[in-house]
Structure 1
Amino acid sequence: MAEAAGVLYAAEHLVEGGIALAKGIYDPTLPLKATITPITDINLPRVHHSVSEVKGRAYVFGGKTDGDELADNAMHIIILPSSGIESTDYRRLEPTASSPPARYGHCSAIIDDQIYVFGGSDVNGPLEEKGRVWVFDTDTNSWSSIDAAVGDVPKARVWAAATASAQPQPEHRRTDENVAPQLPPDPAKMVPEPLKPSTYGTFVVYGGVTEKGQSPNSELWTFDVTSRTWSQLPSPPAPSDSTSMPSITFHSNRLYAVSGSETHYLDLSFDSTTYTDKPTQGPTTLSPWSSLHPTTTSKTAKYPASSSSSTALIPITTGQGRNYLLHLTSSTLSTLQLTSSKTTAASLKDRARKAISKKTAEGEWAEVRYFNAENVMIQEGQAGRGVGDRKGFATTKVKEIDGGMVLVWGGVDGRGRVRSDGLMIEVEK
């Protein structure tokens, strides 16, 4: 009897497992759920600024404040809620002689623990700094600047988009390489020293306005940090709406650009430098720009719409190898499903769906389903969808929290009032 009961138990759980597996294969991967939690215990009014998260701290720089006043050039640090701590904290770092001048409409990106800033405008127009890149080191809370060593540099500009990659990097070589062994090796001498800040990586700038009254351009510039060299890459196809605000990001070595309702991508190659070779001068293209075309057979397919207000494009994951891009505008949050990571649960599910002639939603856009902090769905027409119709906001990925967490800060509301609060947005399946 005991053996029979064991067989029935095993059979029951085998059936349940089969049902769960089948359900997992047939469950759609779009749309995703976005839970929006306001941050109101910090009063920092900003618009047309930048925000960058490093190790649980959001660094707010530049922008404008109430009354269209140019903000100071101090660095404002918002310590974000973490596990077990629901409130935020705030710290202000006073400017020093090495701080960049006050500005708004600049762009920024992160390479490891350093924040790179380029461009922007003061009250007199775009700041002409001859290609200078400003770097804030979050380990030392100090500013420095990098000037181009040789070659052409991008013109001064405002409203550009930026992203960055930690590649290329020097190859890590053992310090005892090619040395005849005389004694047992000392492990302390076999490991290379950590890379010095601001000596590796690629900073990318896309678009922007170079003169007052002009439409945004589609120039694409890369700054190779190692060689201190600017290089111009082929521009993505011009958007049909010339007033659209661009956004750009990396996922692996693929560069994605969204402008208007159009999405393009470019595959790049990063050649690692060595301690003896000459440094690189930025990435090289592996192919021309490619476009993602709208999918008309899916009810969830919906391309993002950029406007002349702020936009952002951020890579996120919902776990198990599932990758997306999150596109934020003042009115909507949309996700683009990317190729799943190899040898993961997501890739196995995609293979199973293809085997039964089911689509995988790869390459499709869909607007998220909105939920408030109390886990109540926000219906269409209700307040609280997207980023709350704020314009001129800044956003950053919160890397300290696994998955799809982003921070939105500031902006202006429909009445033209500068917002002094923020939103934590968690995107999940």
Structure 2
Amino acid sequence: MMEPVAATAALYGAETAAEGAVAAYFLTKPTLPLKGRLEHVESSVPLPRSSHSLTVIGDRAYVFGGEIEPREPVSNDVEVLIIGRNNAKAESITAKPVDGSEGVPAARVGHTASGARNRMFVFGGRGGAEMTALEENGRLWVFDPKEEGWLYLDPPPGTEYPCPRSYHASSASDDGNVIFIHAGCASDGSRLVDTWAFYLEEGKWARFPDAPGPARGGPALTYGQDMLWRFGGFDGKTELGGQLDYLEVPSTSNATASEWISLPFDFSETEASTTSSIPAPRSLAALHFVATGQGRDYLILALGEGDPSKIGHAGAGKFFQDIWIYQLPAASGYSGAGIKDMIKEKLPGLTGSTKGQWAQLDLTGVEVGAGEKQGGKWTGRGWFASDSTGTKQFLVWGGIDEGNERLGDGWIVVID
């Protein structure tokens, strides 16, 4: 049997043992855990809230909706954060329609917003005197930052659309052509398990197969490698976890979507998430797709609620402060990552690929502004909002801590 250095040299076509040794070093270098850092961001104007949305477009983050006091939605203005280093200048845009359009979205909580085509697409949420899911007949509200105003997209008459809901999840395809909606809480208090896609070119909704497992509110959802990825949620009794679910997305609304596929993993309830090799069940977490180059892709799972309050979002539960990395299979077998995984699986004496494994993010530094309210501590939180600010980073804003305080700060999580 060939030794790893010799075998590596043979596979790479290396002419010398030294070249083979260098190649073997890079092959044996683990891809998990990744290193990362946290950068604290303060607003020039206090902006505490929870159950809001956050959409990053360019160097600006758009905060919409939410609440400071339970069951009291803030205004329907859009708050703009111009993101700098350790700070963000805050501006407010009064709600108004774009010329030629009518109406603006009502104030709301528990909605979602996704960025696509340099616009913000808002769906669902609770509002009104009864604080129930808003009946808008499948409407997508569209905020145009250039016009600083609102448009809307209604599905064609006679077509199907998602029922009213709140505390659902949404995402957008990386080409900006599709907005996805999943699960949440219906008007009658029941929880949902359905998945919908609004194809912007076609202007209508398409329903995908229902996701596996219990109906739920507060799941985490993201898009990557032409797939939707889901983790966690709350089914009304317990926090959900123990598996990742994914769905391959068809290119048009007329194409038939395949069924969801589950990737289960074991978690012992006696293990704390900080010592386990996998993340604990949770809801209200951040889930983002990250590409680090050479075909290596990951999912990043952060924060979330592990034990809900008995009074729902009116009170604080137990929140996690951990950040987890899940290594996805290489999208292409011919990428650097794909070739490396193939060789590691075949060569004797080398550890296998870490694809399909979880690891906690190895934090190498925390940058904190002078006025950090929490004393520079990265704290657990839920009911926050987050969005990607680049291919290897995302922004978290607001939420509730375990002291039941609405937070008005943000953190940028950077993957090195």
Q: Do the aligned residues in 1 keep the contact of 2:36 with 2:415 (CA within 8 Å)?
A: yes
Equivalent of 2:52 in 44, 49, 54: 49
TM-score by length of 2: 0.78
The amino acid across from 1:320 in the alignment is Q
Partners in 1 of 2:59 and 2:255 — Cα distance? 30
Partners in 1 of 2:66 and 2:359 — Cα distance? 31
Partners in 2 of 1:409 and 1:204 — Cα distance? 22
Flag the 1:404–1:355 CA change in 2: closer, same or farther, 3 A: same
1:192-234 CA-partner distances (Å, limit 9, x unpaired): xxxxxxxx722110000003543x3211111222332222211
**Larger-gyration structure (1/2):** 1
Which 5+ residue runs of structure 1 have no aligned equivalent?
1-13, 168-199, 272-280, 376-381
Match of 1:221 in 2: 196
SS at structure 2 position matched to 1:398: strand
Between the two proteins, the alignment pairs up a number of residues equal to: 353
Partners in 2 of 1:282 and 1:159 — Cα distance? 28
The amino acid across from 1:148 in the alignment is P
Does residue 118 of structure 1 match 2:92? Answer: no
The amino acid across from 1:325 in the alignment is L
Q: Do the aligned residues in 2 keep the contact of 1:320 with 1:346 (CA within 8 Å)?
A: yes
Match of 1:365 in 2: 358
Equivalent of 1:414 in 399, 402, 408: 402
Flag the 1:26–1:340 CA change in 2: closer, same or farther, 3 A: same
Partners in 2 of 1:41 and 1:142 — Cα distance? 23
Which structure: greater strand fraction? 2
Does residue 235 of structure 1 match 2:210? Answer: yes
Partners in 1 of 2:278 and 2:121 — Cα distance? 30
Q: Do the aligned residues in 1 keep the contact of 2:225 with 2:331 (CA within 8 Å)?
A: no
Flag the 1:86–1:368 CA change in 2: closer, same or farther, 3 A: closer
Match of 1:4 in 2: none
The 5 A counterparts of 1:241-252 are 245-252=218-225
SS at structure 1 position matched to 2:279: coil
Flag the 1:115–1:29 CA change in 2: closer, same or farther, 3 A: same
1:18-54 CA-partner distances (Å, limit 9, x unpaired): 4443221111111222311211243211100000111
Partners in 1 of 2:209 and 2:31 — Cα distance? 33
SS at structure 2 position matched to 1:389: coil
The amino acid across from 1:210 in the alignment is A
Flag the 1:284–1:328 CA change in 2: closer, same or farther, 3 A: farther
- Structure 1 vs Structure 2 CA RMSD: 2.7
Match of 2:231 in 1: 258
Flag the 1:107–1:91 CA change in 2: closer, same or farther, 3 A: same
Does residue 319 of structure 1 match 2:319? Answer: no
The 5 A counterparts of 1:385-404 are 388-399=379-390, 403-404=391-392
1:293-340 CA-partner distances (Å, limit 9, x unpaired): 3289xxx984433434x2222100222221001112331221111122
Partners in 2 of 1:345 and 1:366 — Cα distance? 21
Flag the 1:78–1:16 CA change in 2: closer, same or farther, 3 A: farther
Flag the 1:68–1:210 CA change in 2: closer, same or farther, 3 A: closer
Match of 1:335 in 2: 325
The amino acid across from 1:289 in the alignment is W
TM-score by length of 1: 0.75
Flag the 1:374–1:142 CA change in 2: closer, same or farther, 3 A: closer
Partners in 2 of 1:301 and 1:320 — Cα distance? 29
Match of 2:12 in 1: none
The amino acid across from 2:366 in the alignment is A
Fraction of identical pairs, as percent: 28
